[in-house]
Amino acid sequence: MSTDHASTGRNPAGHGPADHASAGPAGFTRRALLGTAGAGLLVGAGAGVAGAVAYDRPDRSGRAAAGPGGALGAARMPFRGEHQAGITDPPQARVQLAAFDLAEGVGRDGLRTLLQRWTKAADRLTAGEPSEEFDNQVALDAGPCSLTVTVGFGATLFDKAGLADRRPPGLAPLPAFPGDALDPARGDGDLFVQIGADDALVAVHALRVLQRLAAGTAALRWQSAGFARTPGAAAQPVTGRNLMGQIDGTNNPRPDEDGFAAKVFCAAGGDQPAWLAGGSYLVFRRIRMLLDNWEALPVDRQERVIGRRKSDGAPLGAPAGAGERSPVDLTAQGPDGTLAIPADAHIRVAAPAANGGAAMLRRGFSYHDGLLPDGSPDAGLLFLAFQNDPGKGFTPVQRKLSRGDGLSRFLRHEASGLYALPPGAPPGGYLGQQLLEG
Ligand SMILES: C=CC1=C(C)c2cc3[nH]c(cc4nc(cc5[nH]c(cc1n2)c(C)c5CCC(=O)O)C(CCC(=O)O)=C4C)c(C)c3C=C
Ligand SMILES: [Fe+2]
């Protein structure tokens, strides 16, 4: 399968011809539309750097910016397509995650109106235009900055909106896992939004717009801000690091591999409702890292906890210079004859081969929200995993990790959410139309 619309389903229809797609780090699809100035810069940058990887969210070092927000700001992710944006697109530098609860008495019609208003706003904001219904001028001088708006439906939405018979089976509650310390006030919710952008103001602005458009219909339940590497921070596009310092995301399913779409997206037929075809399920976990304990561990022991080298992300046992994409050999032995990748190493316990082929597309973001009362960092990973069936993806893997993963000693799962993501908004239509009118 190639990195085309069939595998990514991100259709640039209606957004002009300047679409650049390439497989970026960690298998995400780099697909952004640049304004005239940005497109010119891309060509110029590619011509000037021999052997450089085509990278369509341009490096800040280009600087020759014109138009809204400069080159980084002009990069634009198509909002419409077979699948929603923000799934196969590479993680942006900033994310706002939030969930909303429907107000009392808001039924199907109220939900439809809300989704229509959100779609209209997302159409405009992702194109770098202010929202027509409400705008507070916070993002006025910025371009779209690769803004994506991704919407999901929690299990509780379906009863409230009179859609109980349309609730998909994959929204059955996740089981409780050993060690869970979940705060329901920071998870779950009727409606979920993931807003990514390469600029913090653009992301916050988009969330504020959606929140204002929801006034009287749905109230914010929780909100979490996250971040990832800013494009251009590294000399070459590489898979990002998390707050434990590990390269995180290497062994994700890749859009150019066979069966990618079947792992990540729901297909028509089977036990999935027709409205979810082209959609996906998202598992969210707010996972705090016990960084004081982690950082007290020598690097070689940290590496054995994960099963990969910190420097370059290569699997333990791989020769020097092998790189993060080097194949994982779970049978490799060290000089002393023991397993190079220990029995409780995270990548061994989480591997699809150890979990009946369970697969998911991880697209997490770091968070750092200051200190807890005991002085330890309130920091970790906003874990986001997209899959076609959480019962065959996240749940079996997390069950295994919670019992036998060396990494779990350094983690606390503090919030959780499970959402069904409808397919992309149909041409001229709105997000969730297949659910409400199908
Ligand atoms: C239930 C699923 C998973 C949770 C929860 C999870 C948390 C978590 N992971 C890291 C760091 C890394 N994970 C890596 C690989 C990896 N993780 C999962 C699943 C969960 N991780 C899978 C399926 C895999 C791939 C396994 C494989 O096939 O090799 C890695 C290695 C690099 C990579 O492939 O991404 C790191 C590093 C943290 C810090 C964390 C919770 C905070
Ligand atoms: Fe992991």
Ligand 1 atom 15, closest CA: 347
The pLDDT assigned to 64 comes to 35
405 lines ligand 1 (CB under 6 A): no
Q: If you ran DSSP here, which 8-state letter would residue 333 be given?
A: B
The pLDDT assigned to 176 comes to 98
Q: Element (H or E) spanning 384, and its range? A: strand 377-387
394 lines ligand 1 (CB under 6 A): yes
Just list the catalytic residues.
248
- As a three-state string, the secondary structure of 109-149 is HHHHHHHHHHHHHHHHHCCCCCCCCCCCCCCCCCCCCCCEE
The pLDDT assigned to 238 comes to 86
For residue 175, list its beta bridge partners: none
Query: How many Cβ atoms sit within 10 Å of the Cβ of residue 373?
Result: 6
Spatial separation of the C-alpha atoms in residues 262 and 270, rounded to whole Å: 12
287 lines ligand 1 (CB under 6 A): yes
The pLDDT assigned to 50 comes to 26
Ligand 1 atom 36, closest CA: 248
Tens of pLDDT, residue by residue over 104-137, are 999 999 999 999 999 999 999 999 999 999 999 9
The pLDDT assigned to 438 comes to 79
The pLDDT assigned to 69 comes to 62
Q: Please list, residue by residue across 395-417, b when 16 or more beta carbons sit within 10 angstroms of its beta carbon and e when fewer do.
A: bbbbbbbbeebbbbebbebbbbb
131 lines ligand 1 (CB under 6 A): no
Our mutation pick for probing the ligand 1 site, out of 251, 287, 309, counting the most ligand atoms within 8 A of Cβ, is 251
The pLDDT assigned to 217 comes to 98
Domain-wise residue ranges, the chain:
33-72, 289-418
The pLDDT assigned to 212 comes to 98
Residues of the chain with pLDDT under 70: 1-27, 30-32, 34-69
What's CA 386's distance to the chain center, in Å? 8
